Structure 1
């Protein structure tokens, strides 16, 4: 039978999502829970698992299309057992592959109509095995089914972009040997069978530059292709087209360039989608709803930088890589307990001020997709080392495009680090519905009054923006002073524990 999978609500309450790329093609076999597509919402890129096992019959949208929640995504020809019995009859747990109840649990819908022309042949033992696994969240899979594997990429399944075709037509064997044979023979199929390992932002970046990642080598030991690997491959193509080999393997290649800076239109128009659209809406709502007040404080953080240096040199803490941002985060958590008005939100609909007795600390992260602010749950309960680990994991996940929708909502206070870009100060805009956000500037070695004399000291500028409906100037000033006191003398944190 033909089962239709519709775009589920991914837990963000958003009306639609953009298809970044399909991981399967029409005619491909798929297993239960195998990733079939990557979709981008206003907050994150997520992989959609298949709720069925069978053969892909139709893709209802192309990469780059925006699909409404509930809209048709893919049709899968699901084996129907011995004729009348559906695949759910072969599964002991409720909500099996063919169960409409199990599918609706993830926001999809199945069609029970048979497709006379596209129906699968009579059931075989192999077909029964395909239908056995159960949908995630609906009981354990039968023993022996194993872990679902990502679909192998088969040569010729998808159309090549212009740059791919040019490379395959003009590139000599010594260049293509790294990514696959130039012809479509068996060797080429083997070389391109596995999907290149990379992150969604890198795949999008390569797509925008017209480069097939199957031709790109990963430089790191992990085997994951990075932006610099894409740039290096593009430089080789450009150098080869200019007649000057970029390295020994390029030889006397005469490959066409990926792009020419002087060619093409004078401007580019891009649809407002995804993170950029969500960020713009949130910032406009924040700027024109919450009355912002920003105050600044310059702090001598010499003692904090000395503390960080001592912690980093301690072999027992080497794996935690504690930095000054972790100390700032800890100071913020302690100061929020002293000034709880900064850890609250304005509920206009209920006519209430909601004060949080926990700290879900947001850390602004710049990514290829735009600015996102994932948060650390109950950050106030973490020690300094655990907080440093959480910040590192959170930012790495966000930059890889894998931050979950849950991690991107529900924060109670945020930190944005200007200093990582060498900026001294700024006026951060609130991340609604939070009442405050702290901007952290770069640490500068400056002449500073210390112990009655002028000395070179490490100085940082802090900028606090807060919602004046919730926070008075006095409360904002006390909070910022408390953070500054801890950074000036980390021992003072003991007074606030």
Structure 2
């Protein structure tokens, strides 16, 4: 006898309490295998695919892309038989199976939540065939252009109904762009933006615009501070609130460093080494000399905690925003190994496939903002770390070299540190050592 098992959003670790649905990987009525990914979600730390522990037929999905799902709330229900085998189709799932609550779906023969026309009207539930067109079965197909459809409209997400209700929007006037005509949040937001009255701007002198004069009117855009963007905002704000930071900087001649990199990459069969990998290697050597900077402050116990291993984070810009992948045990890796790990993590960051473990636990951050074509910056420390090295662009500049003016490849290095952890002597010594290694890479050989 088939039974329905409810799969809820699992604990994703690192204190995460919710995730946003990005896209569904299965449809109602699909047969899924054990541990097959069913949905892609975005947490505050990464984009992840969530596998379902049950094999069977998907009888219901909970939520639409853009919806926030708390940990422990249902994602899907799956029909399996008593022997653990999957029914051949959702039609084999009996009507007497257990019903489950949730945001806009219930178990059974692929039932969906169909809300009535206005945003504030109460919804009703009914069963439909998996994949059936809800509008056609409900008689909610829109009439003439601009007309209002009669009867209920297909709205699955409670968030969509609430958004429409708050803005006084009649959902019957909309044509959904989702599967089977479902009205999505983007449909409602687009309609709200179109309905908002334009604000006529004033002239520079404070007087109103003249009647009949053309005025360019825009619509403000609001971006929710959630997911990755929300996490970044919270960490940076907390860093500013808690850490008394200070910044020092120095210009360094990177001509010899670039020459060493070129020689490394010219070697037959050698793995290509990036400038960032060389700087990472320099950072680990500098932290070995100044271990007090590889630390964090325990505010509850009022203690400085010096850490034995260097887990080096590096800032990476992606389409989803700024992320900081972490190279585990960077102090124990060779330059080639650092280059390979940086390349792997960067590719995963841009693809949005970094795991939460690869984005947490850093002890020191390397920020190469020079890739944006800028010379310098005063970065915000990546809380709860104690320091960050910033690297500007490497550019040809006039420089006094061996007593003569020459054109050299110059880079500005900035070092931001937690003044509770160290004073100017330590921070200056660290930065000077880094600059010496950039100018004379052979300095690194002293510690080999």
CA contact (8 A) 1:435 1:471 kept: no
User: In the superposition, relative to structure 1, how do residues 300 and 35 fare at CA in structure 2: closer, same or farther (>3 Å)?
Assistant: same
Among 426, 430, 441, the alignment partner of 1:479 is 430
Cα distance, 1:394 vs. partner?
1.0
Which structure has the larger Rg? Answer: 2
User: In the superposition, relative to structure 1, how do residues 8 and 485 fare at CA in structure 2: closer, same or farther (>3 Å)?
Assistant: same
Residue aligning to 2:231:
278
Which runs of structure 1 show a deviation greater than 3 angstroms over 4 or more consecutive aligned residues? 156-159, 262-265
Tell me, what secondary structure is at the counterpart of 1:385?
helix
RMSD: 2.6
1:30 paired with 2:32, answer yes
Q: TM-score, normalised by structure 2?
A: 0.71
Q: TM-score, normalised by structure 1?
A: 0.64
Deviations 1:262-316 (A, max 9, x none): 9996232232211100000000000110001011010011110111111111122
Cα distance, 1:363 vs. partner?
0.8
C-alpha distance in structure 1 between counterparts of 2:132 and 2:441, whole Å: 59
Tell me, what secondary structure is at the counterpart of 1:315?
coil
Residue aligning to 2:64:
62
Residue aligning to 1:251:
none
Residue aligning to 1:366:
317
Cα distance, 1:79 vs. partner?
1.7
The structure in which a higher percent of residues are strand is 2
Cα distance, 1:73 vs. partner?
1.1
Gap runs ≥5 in structure 1: 82-86, 91-96, 98-113, 121-155, 160-209, 213-261
Among 57, 76, 79, the alignment partner of 1:77 is 79
Cα distance, 1:115 vs. partner?
6.9
User: In the superposition, relative to structure 1, how do residues 157 and 411 fare at CA in structure 2: closer, same or farther (>3 Å)?
Assistant: farther
Tell me, what secondary structure is at the counterpart of 2:269?
helix
Among 92, 95, 113, the alignment partner of 1:117 is 95
Residue aligning to 1:314:
267
Gap runs ≥5 in structure 2: 87-91, 99-130, 135-176, 180-214
C-alpha distance in structure 2 between counterparts of 1:463 and 1:346, whole Å: 22
CA contact (8 A) 2:225 2:233 kept: no
Deviations 1:99-148 (A, max 9, x none): xxxxxxxxxxxxxxx9741769xxxxxxxxxxxxxxxxxxxxxxxxxxxx
1:300 paired with 2:253, answer yes
Residue aligning to 1:13:
15
Deviations 1:232-256 (A, max 9, x none): xxxxxxxxxxxxxxxxxxxxxxxxx
CA contact (8 A) 2:249 2:412 kept: yes
Deviations 1:369-417 (A, max 9, x none): 1111010000111111111111111111111101110011100000111
- Correspondence 1:326-405 to 2 at 5 A: 326-405=277-356
Among 222, 235, 240, the alignment partner of 1:269 is 222
Residue aligning to 2:54:
52
- Correspondence 1:70-469 to 2 at 5 A: 70-81=72-83, 87=84, 116-117=94-95, 266-317=219-270, 320-469=271-420
C-alpha distance in structure 2 between counterparts of 1:303 and 1:350, whole Å: 45
C-alpha distance in structure 2 between counterparts of 1:419 and 1:410, whole Å: 25
C-alpha distance in structure 1 between counterparts of 2:423 and 2:292, whole Å: 9
